[in-house]
Structure 1
């Protein structure tokens, strides 16, 4: 199975490859595609839309059996105070679409204020942690959990949920 993941970020490719490790013959390639949403998606709806757009755009970009889109965003979560880092994945073969989410991680208020004021989370985290390209390393997930999870693991969880309809017979 030839799989394209709609990003050149190595973390997203590695997470997809890891989620599909048990699928015989699966090969994963990075494909640069547009998300069609803002650089910093805000809310579940925009984040899911970005993941779905990326997955569809992968299929349009080449000869892939499955397109995977991953999108990170921030959202207010009903019933919980604060702003949360969220992750969504979508998988499509052109006919069906599967979706899966990663963990929700509450942002410290000092970071949430900056994101609400219009800054993107990645550069804010780079600034707070005094590193470059945290999104291609541990990610905010690693920093926010004391390295209990990392960005690849969080994204792998989302991809695993999204590919469910393509790797099991439990979905109709």
Structure 2
């Protein structure tokens, strides 16, 4: 069996995480991952849980609009949120797909969070995107297309692919379990 997954990001980390998750969670080895560029209208650095989730939803819905022939449509959005005076990093994964009856179904999951060091948090609070702040603090370049912020902060124990892949597996729960009832994806999200 072969499937097509439209991913609303050209970031190779998001593509690899999606492929790993689909292959493991759905047991499908032959996956054609198609990257689509979605005009999502979101800020480069989403702030807060709601804005980050909205960004992932808009991306998944944009992928559906651009590639209606795919089997699944994926939006992944990284963000930051304030908690008790600390800035935490997290991300949302949204998957859209159809049931055997053709009903559109949505799966969503949030990654774990981790507290950012003040050196990175202060830059983000000043308007610098998290990836750029990470590059600046660690003297790296383009970490968001590689280990992300989580990579250097965990000493490489968790990289951005594995960080996103866990959330993707959980977002695929409604599609792994078609015999159960999940809420349909009915409402459209505005950017």
Class of the TM-score when normalised by the shorter of the 2 chains: over 0.9
Hey, which bits of structure 1, 4+ residues long, moved more than 3 A? Answer: none
**Alpha-carbon displacement from aligned partner over 1:131-169 (angstroms, at most 9, x marks no partner):** 110011111010121111000000101111111111223
Report how many residues are paired: 170
Q: How does 1:10-159 map to 2 (within 5 A)?
A: 10-22=12-24, 23-24=27-28, 25-62=30-67, 63-77=69-83, 80-93=84-97, 95-159=104-168
Instruction: Mark the runs of 5 or more structure 2 residues left unpaired by the alignment.
Output: 99-103, 182-191
Structure 2 length normalisation: TM-score? 0.84
Greater Cα radius of gyration, structure 1 or 2 = 2
TM-score, normalization by structure 1: 0.92
Instruction: Tell me the alpha carbon deviations over residues 21-73 of structure 1, each in whole angstroms, 9 at most, x when there is no partner.
Output: 13324322221113331110000000000001110100111121110000000
CA distance in 2, matches of 1:142, 1:53: 27
Is the CA contact 2:119–2:137 (under 8 Å) kept in the aligned structure 1?
A: no
Distance across 2 between alignment mates of 1:126 and 1:7? 20
How large is the RMSD of aligned CA atoms in angstroms?
1.5
Q: Tell me if structure 2 keeps the 8 A contact 1:105–1:144.
A: no
Gaps of 5+ in 1: none
